[in-house]
Amino acid sequence: MTRFSGSDRYIAPSDLQLAVNAAVRLQRPLLVKGEPGTGKTQLAEEVARSLGLSLISWHIKSTTKAQQGLYEYDAVSRLRDSQLGDERVHDIANYIVKGKLWEAFTADSPVVLLIDEIDKADIEFPNDLLLELDRMEFYVYETRQTVKAVHRPIVIITSNNEKELPDAFLRRCFFHYINFPERETLKQILHVHHGDIEAELVERALDVFFDIRQQNGIRKKPSTSELIDWLKLLMADEISREALIEKQEAQAIPPLAGALLKNEQDVHLLERLAFMHRRQKG
Amino acid sequence: MLVDFFTAVRQAGVPCTLREWLDLVAALAADVTFASMDDFYVLARTVLVKDEAHYDRFDRAFAAYFKGIESVELDVAQLIPREWLLNQWQRWLTEEERQQLQQHDNLQELMEKLYQRLREQKERHAGGNKWIGTGGTSPFGAYGDHPQGIRIGQDGNRRHSAVKVWDQRLFRDLDGDATLGIRQIQMALRRLRQFARDGAADELDLEHTIRATARQAGKLDLQMRAERHNAVKVLLFFDIGGSMDPYVQLCEELFSACRTEFKHLEYFYFHNCIYESVWKTNMRRQHNRTELEGIWRTYEADYKVIIIGDGSMAPWEVTHPGGSVEHFNQEAGSVWLQRLKSHFRKVVWLNPMAERYWDYTESLVLIRQLMEGHMYPLSLSGVEEAIHHLSR
C-alpha cells in the first residue's frame, strides 16, 4: 500500500504522516485530536484521496448510538406493512437498515472510515464499539448472521476533547495530537489554499494573527480555518487589504476582524487594548 | 526489545499497557520507521501515549532515556577521522535488502562490534556492508540505511532536521495539573450528571409503544414517559475578597461553567471562613444575609456542596469564637463547618492555591482536617477528583 504524504491541497507535517502510515500499516484506528479548525476531519478526506480509496463518514451527534453504526431494525415500517398486509413483512431482513460500519465492512475495496467527533456521543459510545473496531465484525441478532470485514477499513476517529474517552478504547487506537501549525507551515497552508498572494500581505496577516492568538484572555482563539477565511475576505476587499499592509497605527483593530473573532467579549477586549495602545502613543 | 524504555515511560506516569508496547514492537518489525531517532520518537508517541496531556511526561522520559545514546554517538564521532565519512554514497535500500540486513539485538552488542571493527579497520571506506564509512549498509557510519544503525558524524538527520522535538517540550501547558479554562471545567462538571426521569409524562416512548402494540397484536398502544434531565443539585460557596483577589478570574470561570451546567444551582459568598450567615449579593452584604440555619431548612441533604476558597487566614478565625475579622461570631468557624458537613452528604473544598503550598498555612491544615481530606486543588485534575468524590 502506498504511503500517505499529504497532498496538493493539504499540508501534513511529517509526524502526522508517520502516525497515519503506522496506523495504516498495523491496521489500527487512528484517533486524532487538536484545536478546532486544525483540519482533523479534512485529514480523513485527504488520506482517502491520496491513497485512492473511497471515504465513508459517520458524523456523531449527542444522540447517536453505537448500534446505529452497525444496523437498525426499522420496527415502525414493519408494523405499518403488517397492518397493510404487505408481503415483505414475512422477511425480517427487509427491515434491517445497514449502518456506516456495515457499509465499510462489506465494501468491495478497502475504504477509509471517518468517525467524526466521537466525543459528542454518550460516554458509553466508544465502549460499545470496542469489539467491532478490534475484530472488525459484529453479529446481527434479528437475522442471526455475522458481518465480517472483507477488507479492514482504515479508521480515522476525531475528537474535540469534550469527553474523556475510556481507557479500553484508547488502548486499541493510535493517537495523534495535531499541534497548532507554526508560521512556516501556516505559510504553506495559505499557499495551498490561495495560491499566489503577495508575500507582504501574508507576512502582515500572520503577524496580526499570531498577535491576536497570543493576547491573554481571548476566549476563542482564532484557528487555521479562520485565518484562511479571513485572508479570503481581505483579498476580496481592496481597501482593507491596503489598510492592513500599511499598518495604520490609529486603527489597531485589524480590518474585517469579524472573521477572526467569534464572540463579542473578544472584540471588546481587542478594542480596549487598541484604545490603551493609542493613549500610550498620544 | 525496548523493555527498559517501556518501563521508563511507565515510570514517568504515562499510563501505557503491555498491548501498546507490543504494538510498538510490531510497528518496528513492520518497518514503519527507519534508523531515525525523530521518526522513532513520533512512532513511540503515537502508539504509547493516548492523551496530549501526557505528551510532556513522555517527552521528558524519552529525553532522559535516550540521553546516554546521544552522547555515545558524540564520543564515537571523535574517535573516527572525518574524511572517512564524506558524503559519497547515498544508498536507498529496497525492502528485500533491508530484511537481509543483520539485526542487532541491543546497543551494547552493536557498540562492541563497532569498537572491534575500529580496531581492525585502518583505512577510509565507502560503500560495502561491513566497514565503517559512508553510504553503505553497515550499521556503523553515516548516510547509510540500517534499521538499528549508529550514526557517526552525519550533518543533521538525512530525513529530518536534527532538532530534538522532545527537548522542546511543546506540550508542557497541556498537562492535567495546569489550571483550566471554562470549557474544560464544564467537561469535568458534566461527570456529575445523574439523569433521572421525573415530572409529567409528555414524551413518546417509541420502544415501549412498539412492544406494547406488538403485545396487543397490532392495535396501537401509545406509551408516554417523562423527559430525561440532570437531577443533580449543587450548592456553591465562594470565598470573596482579601487573599482571594488574585484568583478572581479563575473563580469567575468556574462559576460561569457551573451556571450553564446545572439546572439546580445555588451560590453564596463568604469571607475567609463560613460563619452563621452568608450572602448572595456583594453590594448589599451587610443587609441581605442568609442564615446558615435557613440553608439547612431550604436545601436537602442530597445537594452537593462545593466550597471555593484559599483557606488562608489567621488560625483563630477557624478555631475561636469572635475570631472573624469582620464581625463578632458567637461560635467558631470550625463549628459551622462541622454542621455544614453533617447536614450535607457530600461536601468538597476547592482551593485555587497550588497544592505544594498547602502545608505552610496553619489555617489550611486545620480546614483540611475538618474536611477529612476532601480538599482539592482548583486544577483540571483536582476538579475531576472532587467531582469523582461528589458523584460516588
What tens digit of pLDDT does each residue of B242-294 get?
A: 777 777 777 777 777 777 777 778 888 888 888 888 888 776 566 678 888 88
- What's the confidence (pLDDT) of residue B30? 83
Q: In sequence order, what DSSP letters do the residues of B264-325 get, joined into one string?
A: EEEEEEEBSB--SEEES-STTTTTSEEEHHHHHHHS-TTSEEEEE----S-THHHHSTT--S
Q: What is the pLDDT of residues A51-87, one digit of tens each?
A: 889 999 999 988 888 889 999 988 888 888 888 888 8
* pLDDT of A114 strictly over 80: yes
Quote the Cα angle for A129-A132-A137, to 5°: 160
Backbone φ/ψ region at B344: left (φ over 0), alpha (ψ -120 to 50), beta: beta
Cell triple for B248:
478572581
Sequence-distant (6+) residues with CB within 8 A of A120 are A60, A61, A62, A64, A160, A162
Which among B19, B30, B160 is the nearest to A14, CB-wise? B160
Hey, where are the domains in chain B? 3-171, 183-194+231-391, 199-230
* pLDDT of B382 strictly over 60: yes
Q: Kind of pairing, strands B277-279 and B289-291?
A: antiparallel
Chains A & B: contacts with CB separation below 8 Å: 70
Q: What is the pLDDT of residues B106-152, one digit of tens each?
A: 445 555 665 566 555 544 444 444 444 444 445 444 444 444 444 44
pLDDT-based confidence at residue A247 (cuts at 50, 70, 90):
low
Hey, where are the domains in chain A? 14-178, 183-281
Task: State CA B79 to chain mean position distance.
Answer: 44
Cell triple for B173:
501547558
Per CB distance under 8 Å, which residues of B are interface residues toward A? 15, 17, 19-20, 23, 26-27, 30, 32-33, 38-39, 42-43, 46-47, 49-52, 55, 160, 165, 170-171, 182-183, 187, 190, 206, 210, 213-214, 218
* Distance in angstroms (rounded) separating the CA atoms of residues B358 and A95: 63
Radius of gyration of chain B (CA): 32
* pLDDT of B19 strictly over 60: yes
With CB atoms and an 8 Å threshold, state whether B19 touches A171.
Answer: yes
- What's the confidence (pLDDT) of residue B179? 47
Evaluate whether B273 touches B243 at the Cβ level (below 8 Å): no
Can you tell me the mean pLDDT for B189-211? 74
* Distance in angstroms (rounded) separating the CA atoms of residues A176 and B381: 22
Can you tell me the mean pLDDT for A215-236? 79
pLDDT-based confidence at residue B176 (cuts at 50, 70, 90):
very low
3-state secondary structure of B326: coil
Can you tell me the mean pLDDT for B24-35? 81
* Distance in angstroms (rounded) separating the CA atoms of residues A55 and A111: 6
Cell triple for B353:
492555591
- What's the confidence (pLDDT) of residue B118? 58
3-state secondary structure of B233: strand
* Closest-CA distance of chain B to residue A8, Å: 21
Note whether A31 contacts B: Cβ–Cβ < 8 A.
yes
Fold of A14-178: Rossmann fold (3.40.50)
Can you tell me the mean pLDDT for A102-115? 92
* Distance in angstroms (rounded) separating the CA atoms of residues B206 and A38: 40
* Closest-CA distance of chain B to residue A168, Å: 10
Average pLDDT over all residues of chain A? 83
With CB atoms and an 8 Å threshold, state whether A18 touches B55.
Answer: no
* Closest-CA distance of chain A to residue B217, Å: 10
With CB atoms and an 8 Å threshold, state whether B52 touches A177.
Answer: yes
Cell triple for A82:
403488517
* Closest-CA distance of chain B to residue A22, Å: 6
Note whether A84 contacts B: Cβ–Cβ < 8 A.
no
pLDDT-based confidence at residue B88 (cuts at 50, 70, 90):
very low
Neighbours of A203 (CB within 10 A): 13
Q: What is the pLDDT of residues A175-191, one digit of tens each?
A: 998 888 888 888 888 88
3-state secondary structure of B36: coil
Cell triple for A239:
481597501
CATH top class, domain B183-194+231-391: alpha beta
* Residue, of B166 and B239, whose pLDDT is higher: B239
- What's the confidence (pLDDT) of residue A280? 66
Evaluate whether B195 touches B231 at the Cβ level (below 8 Å): yes
Cell triple for A167:
481507557
Which residues of A are less than 8 Å from B38 in CB distance?
Answer: 14
Burial group, residue B216, by CB count within 10 angstroms (0-12, 13-18, 19+): exposed
* pLDDT of B98 strictly over 70: no
Chain A interface mutation, best of B23, B31, B46, highest count of A Cβ atoms under 10 Å: B46
Q: What is the pLDDT of residues B77-86, one digit of tens each?
A: 444 444 444 4
Identity of the residue numbered B111: M
CA-based end-to-end distance of chain A: 64
* pLDDT of A155 strictly over 90: yes
With CB atoms and an 8 Å threshold, state whether B15 touches A22.
Answer: no
φ, ψ for residue B326 (rounded to 5)? -105, -30
Can you tell me the mean pLDDT for A254-276? 75
Average pLDDT over all residues of chain B? 72
* Closest-CA distance of chain A to residue B184, Å: 8
Chain B interface mutation, best of A174, A179, A219, highest count of B Cβ atoms under 10 Å: A174
Cell triple for A64:
447517536
Neighbours of B384 (CB within 10 A): 19
- What's the confidence (pLDDT) of residue B66? 78
Closest-CA residue to B296 (of B349, B240, B235): B235
Q: What is the pLDDT of residues B316-348, one digit of tens each?
A: 888 888 878 777 888 888 888 888 888 898 899
Cell triple for A104:
465499510
Identity of the residue numbered B282: N
Which residues of B are less than 8 Å from A79 in CB distance?
Answer: 210, 213-214, 218
Identity of the residue numbered A226: E
Cell triple for A91:
422477511
Evaluate whether A38 touches A27 at the Cβ level (below 8 Å): no
Q: What is the pLDDT of residues A5-44, one digit of tens each?
A: 877 788 888 888 888 988 988 888 999 988 888 888 889 9
* Closest-CA distance of chain A to residue B164, Å: 13
* pLDDT of B93 strictly over 50: no
Q: Give the residue from chain B lying closest to A178, CA to CA.
A: B52
Stretch among A239-243, A245-249, B120-124 having the lowest mean pLDDT: B120-124
Q: What is the pLDDT of residues A78-108, one digit of tens each?
A: 888 888 888 888 888 888 999 999 999 999 9
Which among A22, A82, A164 is the nearest to B43, CB-wise? A22
With CB atoms and an 8 Å threshold, state whether B46 touches A82.
Answer: no
ipTM given for this complex: 0.75
Tell me the H-state helices in chain B.
Answer: 3-11, 18-29, 37-48, 55-79, 95-100, 107-120, 165-168, 182-189, 206-215, 248-261, 292-298, 316-319, 333-343, 362-370, 380-391
Q: What is the pLDDT of residues B214-237, one digit of tens each?
A: 887 777 888 888 777 667 888 888
